[in-house]
C-alpha cells in the first residue's frame, strides 16, 4: 500500500516537472516572438520616421520643463538601425566594424 502511494506521488511529481518544463519553453518562445516583433517595429520606426520622431521615441527621460535626456546606448539605438540591445541578434540587417561574431552551432 505504501509503495503504491509512493509510486503515485512519484508519477505526480514527474508530471508536474514535465508541465513546468513545457511552460518554461512556451514562455521562452513567446518572449522571443515578442522581441522579434518589437525590434521589427523599432526598425520600421527608424526607417520611415523623421529623425526628431525617432529621437523622441528613444528618449530615456524627460524633465518637467520638457527637456529630453538620452543615454549613449539609447542614442546609438536611435541612430544606427543595426545597433540593437543585448540578446536581440534575432533581427539584424548587418554588422558594425568591431561587432563580435556569433558562432552558431
Domain boundaries, the chain: 2-79
What pLDDT score was predicted for residue 89? 54
In sequence order, the β-bridge partners of residue 35 are none
Contact 78, 55 (CB under 8 A): yes
In sequence order, the β-bridge partners of residue 61 are 69
pLDDT, tens only, 22-50 = 887 888 888 888 877 877 887 788 788 88
Banded pLDDT at 102 (limits 50, 70, 90): low
What pTM did the predictor assign?
Answer: 0.45
Banded pLDDT at 97 (limits 50, 70, 90): low
What pLDDT score was predicted for residue 52? 84
Amino acid at each position: 500500500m505504501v509503495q503504491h502511494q509512493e509510486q503515485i506521488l512519484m508519477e505526480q511529481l514527474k508530471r508536474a516537472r514535465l508541465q513546468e518544463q513545457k511552460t518554461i519553453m512556451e514562455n521562452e518562445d513567446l518572449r522571443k516572438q515578442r522581441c522579434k516583433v518589437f525590434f521589427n517595429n523599432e526598425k520600421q520606426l527608424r526607417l520611415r520616421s523623421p529623425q526628431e520622431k525617432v529621437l523622441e521615441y528613444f528618449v530615456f527621460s524627460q524633465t518637467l520643463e520638457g527637456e529630453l535626456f538620452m543615454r549613449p546606448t539609447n542614442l546609438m539605438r536611435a541612430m544606427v538601425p543595426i545597433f540593437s540591445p543585448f540578446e536581440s541578434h534575432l533581427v539584424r540587417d548587418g554588422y558594425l566594424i568591431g561587432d563580435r561574431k556569433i558562432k552558431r552551432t
